Structure 1
């Protein structure tokens, strides 16, 4: 009898949306950036967002720039 460890599972490979659709990342596009921010206003990690490493770095820089320009909040309102 096979144990669960012996079964071979094929996980669906995550594909970076920005690379495949060649979307330009811009700090002024607040609607797009807000999809990659949690409800606590933290940047979503790469394992959850499904982005490649380079796009995740660009996304973090764009979110930080938008926060500095007061387009996105740093924290949740109390």
Structure 2
């Protein structure tokens, strides 16, 4: 295995370099062995960026007193919390969401079954009829 030090060589313009010398950019992202040689890259250019849940991406902290945010994850018809495949939250945030909604309901900040009418015009964070991932039992 090669060390990082071998990749970080000073930049040599191709006009001055011989055909068998190595060249690396100032950032050290790739090395070229020959003019016809293999280019070794550290990052996969075709790799999709990792998907982050909405709460982690915006760094939103869940609070049991913030009923307006918590109502976005509750069905207006049944009062049940939407599943993870609909909300698109990660495992930790979905668990925290369930605990926070239960605490908010016990404290009296949120109703158990119906959504408060003043929150019906809030912008939608996700579409419950178009889940991010298909449900395995649907």
- Normalised to the residue count of structure 2, the TM-score between the two structures is 0.44
State how many pairs are aligned.
65
CA separation in 2, counterparts of 1:35 and 1:75?
A: 14
Residue 84 (structure 2) aligned to one of 21, 31, 46? 46
As a proportion of its length, which structure holds more strand?
Answer: 2
Residue 28 (structure 1) aligned to one of 65, 68, 76? 65
* Structure-2 change in CA distance of 1:65 and 1:28 (3 Å): same
Where does residue 102 of structure 2 map in the other structure? 64
Identify unmatched segments of 5+ residues in structure 1.
Answer: 1-12
Deviation (angstroms), 1:15: 3.3
Q: Which 4+ runs in 1 deviate beyond 3 A?
A: none
Identify unmatched segments of 5+ residues in structure 2.
Answer: 1-49, 115-138
- Normalised to the residue count of structure 1, the TM-score between the two structures is 0.76
Larger radius of gyration: 2
Q: RMSD between aligned alpha carbons?
A: 1.8
Deviation (angstroms), 1:43: 0.6
CA separation in 2, counterparts of 1:14 and 1:71?
A: 32
Query: Which structure is richer in relative contact order (CA contacts within 8 A, separation 6 or more)?
Result: 1
As a proportion of its length, which structure holds more helix?
Answer: 1
Where does residue 35 of structure 2 map in the other structure? none
